[in-house]
């Protein structure tokens, strides 16, 4: 069940459906609006598929991709193989990540947040600290 806050934001996109897939770096899932997915596929479509690294990346990036829909009550059915990948057991966390929604098992999400909390100040400084205000806008 999608929370009412996310449901309200996703309703304008629900007619086209969504794409759900395995995350690249974390044991979670990524939910894309169809528009965001099409933009991503445009970028990936520009890769030369005759370069082995590119071909391997495309295969892994699109592994397990499923098109899903939100029903009238605001639920999205997550395929079992994707739940298994993300180790989703009972409680689910949906976290906004710029242009996608991450879907996590609650215990794994809290563990990931706790593990990165200590290093977050260093990470923030490394990623954003050397940027000027103009570069951030």
Whether 61 is in a domain gets the answer yes
Q: How many CB atoms lie within 10 A of CB 136?
A: 7
Q: What is the CATH number of the domain that holds 75?
A: 3.40.1550.20
**23: containing domain:** 4-106
| Predicted model pTM | 0.83
Q: Which two tokens stand for residue 95?
A: 């976290």
User: For position 105, what pLDDT does the model report?
Assistant: 95
Q: Work out how many domains the chain is built from and give that number.
A: 1
Q: Evaluate whether residue 129 is within a structural domain.
A: no
Burial 49-62 (b: 16+ CB within 10 A, else e): eeeeeeeeeeeeee
Quick one: tokens of 72? 């009238």
Query: Looking at the predicted structure, is the pLDDT value of residue 21 above 90?
Result: yes
Torsion of CA 82, 83, 85, 90, to 10 degrees: 170
Q: Which of 47-51, 81-85, 129-133 is predicted with the least confidence, judged by mean pLDDT?
A: 129-133
């Amino acid at each position: 069940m999608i929370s009412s806050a996310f449901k309200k934001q996703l309703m304008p996109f629900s007619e086209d459906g969504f794409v759900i897939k395995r995350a690249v770096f974390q044991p979670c899932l990524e939910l894309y609006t169809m528009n965001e997915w099409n933009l991503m596929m445009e970028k990936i479509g520009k890769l030369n598929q005759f370069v082995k690294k590119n071909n391997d990346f495309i295969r892994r990036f699109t592994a397990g991709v499923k098109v899903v829909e939100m029903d009238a009550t605001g639920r999205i059915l997550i395929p079992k193989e994707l739940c298994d990948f993300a180790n989703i057991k009972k409680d689910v966390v949906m976290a906004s990540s710029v242009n996608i929604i991450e879907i996590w098992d609650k215990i794994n999400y809290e563990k990931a947040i706790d593990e990165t909390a200590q290093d977050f100040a260093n990470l923030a400084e490394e990623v954003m600290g050397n940027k000027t205000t103009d570069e951030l806008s």
